[in-house]
């Protein structure tokens, strides 16, 4: 059975993308309230056994670390991934945010959109969801860095992910990053460009 490590996913009640249906799901989080399988800081992933996961899935978590600590987190991703594994990362798209703010002449306290939990403000995308930070009193919910398509690609490549595929939509960047050439299985599963295109 294929294995996915969900880094910073908060709770298993939050569904993974449909591609991971039927996979063994291991949740790692620093917040014990979500009852993670592994209670740990993602900067310490290199303490786990190596090469045990097919995918590291990390949705809206990497921006919660300072830029220099992102390097540690990504080194941990490489450590726990199998040689043909991939890091599936989703982060806010700060480049697109800047364009939207400029185009609509938005203020930092203006709402960008309505989410199921309420309005999301410009400042929430930049600095972290203020309602949750205030309610929980936990500073690790704050955003400490941000990414554009270019900057995310650059840091992934510097951290040893030699094949990086980027998509951007709805104010977020989605990346699929591999240490080695993607397998046919991964290429089909995530509709990535075929080998002749890289």
pLDDT digits (tens, 9 = 90+) for 157-189: 999 999 999 999 999 999 999 999 999 999 999
Q: How far is CA 171 from CA 73, 108, 116, 165, in A?
A: 23, 15, 16, 17
Is the confidence at residue 142, as pLDDT, over 60? yes
Does the residue 113 lie in any domain?
A: no
What is residue 116's predicted lDDT score, i.e. its pLDDT?
Answer: 87
Average pLDDT over residues 143-152: 97
Q: How many CB atoms lie within 10 A of CB 104?
A: 10
Has residue 154 got a pLDDT over 70? Answer: yes
What is the chain's alpha carbon radius of gyration, rounded to the nearest angstrom?
17
* Average confidence (pLDDT) over 137-156: 95
Q: Which domain holds residue 166?
A: 3-92+145-197
Q: What percent of the chain shows pLDDT beyond 90? A: 91
Rounded to whole angstroms, the Cα distance separating 191 from 182 reads: 11
The beta strands (E) that lie in 30-158 are given as 38-39, 53-59, 81-92, 111-115, 118-121
* pLDDT for the residue numbered 117: 85
- Evaluate if residue 32 carries a pLDDT over 70: yes
Whole-number pLDDT of residue 195: 57
pLDDT at 57 over 60: yes
Residue 189 CB-half CA count within 13 A: 17
- Which of 57, 67, 54 is closest to 159 using CA atoms? 67
Q: What is the pLDDT of residue 185?
A: 94
Residue 49 lies in a domain: yes
Q: Would residue 186 count as lying in a domain?
A: yes
Q: Is residue 104 part of a domain?
A: no
**pLDDT exceeds cutoff 70 at 197:** no
Report the CATH number at residue 27.
3.40.50.150
Q: Let me know if residue 170 belongs to a domain.
A: yes
Q: State mean pLDDT over 88-108.
A: 97
- Mean pLDDT of the 2-15 span: 96
pLDDT tens per residue, range 107-123: 999 999 998 889 999 99
Q: Is residue 115 part of a domain?
A: no
pLDDT score at 105: 98
Kindly report, residue by residue over 63-89, the tens digit of the pLDDT: 999 999 999 999 999 999 999 999 999
Confirm whether 125 is domain-assigned: no
Residue 185 included in any domain:
yes
């Amino acid at each position: 059975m294929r294995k996915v490590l969900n880094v910073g996913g908060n709770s298993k009640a939050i569904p993974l993308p449909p591609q991971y249906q039927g996979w063994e799901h291991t949740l790692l989080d620093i917040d014990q309230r979500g009852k993670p399988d592994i209670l740990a800081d993602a900067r310490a992933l290199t303490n786990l056994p190596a090469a045990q996961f097919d995918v590291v899935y990390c949705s809206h978590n990497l921006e919660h670390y300072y830029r220099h600590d992102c390097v540690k987190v990504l080194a941990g991703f490489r450590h726990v991934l199998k040689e043909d594994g991939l890091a599936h990362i989703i982060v806010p798209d700060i480049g697109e945010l800047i364009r939207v703010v400029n185009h609509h002449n938005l203020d930092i306290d203006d709402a960008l959109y309505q989410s199921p939990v309420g309005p999301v403000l410009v400042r929430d995308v930049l600095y972290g969801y203020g309602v949750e930070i205030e309610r929980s009193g936990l500073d690790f919910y704050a955003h400490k860095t941000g990414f554009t398509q270019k900057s995310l690609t650059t840091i992934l490549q510097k951290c040893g992910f030699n094949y990086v595929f980027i998509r951007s939509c709805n104010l977020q960047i989605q990346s699929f990053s591999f240490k080695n050439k993607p397998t046919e299985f991964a290429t089909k599963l995530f509709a990535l460009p075929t080998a002749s295109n890289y």
